[in-house]
């Protein structure tokens, strides 16, 4: 069964558009948007995966808040930020536990029209590649990426309507790494690439 992904239910409400580009569905659910709505209604974020997506979404939608500032935000407000973001997967098939690394580039290339068309239609300011950056870059035939002052790799797709789309290389939300460090790199990179965001 294919899993429907793309804009969550309140995506149009956010001035700064954030899209999370992941490997595959993380839940056995027919719709990512419905899953996010269910989580927000229940008043919980369902573990570290959704919580970290929500932290990233909230920070970028709200003046690039620091990790410490974002941690003080209520789970309800973080959930709303997640509803105002989009989640797109390279694979949209039914939940699988993992995608072998060697298959990720092939998956990105095979499904490029589906996920890239969604990104083009949604016109986010930021595409946060959660463990997918190199596969996406290769699928789109992009040259070696640039890096921000914090060392975060990125590339741009120029001027989709009124703004560029910036793809950022971030760890997968479930990765074992310093969440505070990744958060800091992400928001500092966002401010550098879009100076008007704060």
CATH number at residue 120: 3.40.470
**Residue 145: inside a domain, yes or no?**
yes
Look at residue 190 and tell me whether its pLDDT is greater than 90. yes
Q: What is the DSSP letter of 173?
A: T
- Please state the domain count of the chain: 1
**Residue 44: inside a domain, yes or no?**
yes
CA angle 71, 77, 81 (to 5 degrees): 95
How many whole angstroms separate alpha carbon 23 and alpha carbon 30? Answer: 16
Tokens 């580009």 correspond to 21
Look at residue 17 and tell me whether its pLDDT is greater than 60. yes
Over the stretch 129-148, which tens digit does the pLDDT of each residue have? Answer: 999 999 999 999 998 899 99
**Residue 1: inside a domain, yes or no?**
no
**71-84: buried (b, 16+ CB within 10 Å) or exposed (e) per residue?**
eebeeeebbbbbbb
The residue range of the domain holding 191 is 6-197
Please compute the mean of the pLDDT values over residues 180-192 and round it to a whole number.
91
pTM above 0.75, yes or no: yes
Residue 152 is predicted with a pLDDT of 93
Residue 30 is predicted with a pLDDT of 59
Look at residue 198 and tell me whether its pLDDT is greater than 60. no
Please compute the mean of the pLDDT values over residues 12-21 and round it to a whole number.
93
How many whole angstroms separate alpha carbon 126 and alpha carbon 19? Answer: 6
Look at residue 10 and tell me whether its pLDDT is greater than 50. yes
How many whole angstroms separate alpha carbon 115 and alpha carbon 136? Answer: 10
Q: What confidence tier does 1 reach under pLDDT thresholds 50, 70, 90? A: very low
Report the candidate in 170, 9, 184, 169 with the shortest Cα–Cα distance to residue 87.
9
Query: Residue 138 class from Cβ within 10 Å (0-12 exposed, 13-18 middle, 19+ buried)?
Result: middle
Higher pLDDT, 163 or 135: 135
Q: What is the DSSP string of 81-108?
A: HHHTSEEEES--SS--S---HHHHHHHH
**Residue 103: inside a domain, yes or no?**
yes
Helix segments in the chain, DSSP class H = 32-42, 48-61, 67-71, 75-83, 101-110, 112-122, 133-139, 179-193
Please compute the mean of the pLDDT values over residues 174-194 and round it to a whole number.
87
**Residue 137: inside a domain, yes or no?**
yes
Tokens 């620091």 correspond to 66
Please compute the mean of the pLDDT values over residues 20-46 and round it to a whole number.
73
Over the stretch 76-125, which tens digit does the pLDDT of each residue have? Answer: 899 899 999 999 988 876 545 555 556 888 889 998 999 999 999 999 99
**Residue 166: inside a domain, yes or no?**
yes
Residue 86 is predicted with a pLDDT of 92
Strands 153-160 and 146-147: antiparallel
Look at residue 31 and tell me whether its pLDDT is greater than 80. no
Look at residue 188 and tell me whether its pLDDT is greater than 80. yes
């Amino acid at each position: 069964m294919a899993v429907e992904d793309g804009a969550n239910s309140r995506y149009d409400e956010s001035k700064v558009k954030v899209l999370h580009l992941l490997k595959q569905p993380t839940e056995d659910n027919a719709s990512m948007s419905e899953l996010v709505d269910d989580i927000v209604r229940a008043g919980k974020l369902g573990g570290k995966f959704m919580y970290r997506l929500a932290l990233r979404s909230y920070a970028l939608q709200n003046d690039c808040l620091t990790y410490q500032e974002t941690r003080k935000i209520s789970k309800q407000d973080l959930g709303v930020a997640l509803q105002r973001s989009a989640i797109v997967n390279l694979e949209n098939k039914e939940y699988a536990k993992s995608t072998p690394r060697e298959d990720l580039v092939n998956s990105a290339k095979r499904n490029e029209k589906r996920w890239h068309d969604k990104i083009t239609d949604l016109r986010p300011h930021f595409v946060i590649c959660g463990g997918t950056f190199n596969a996406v870059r290769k699928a789109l035939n992009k040259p070696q990426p640039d890096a921000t002052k914090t060392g975060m790799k990125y590339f741009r797709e120029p001027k989709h309507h009124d703004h560029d789309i910036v793809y950022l290389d971030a760890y997968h939300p479930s990765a074992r790494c310093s969440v505070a460090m990744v958060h800091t790199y992400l928001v500092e990179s966002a401010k550098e690439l879009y100076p008007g965001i704060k």
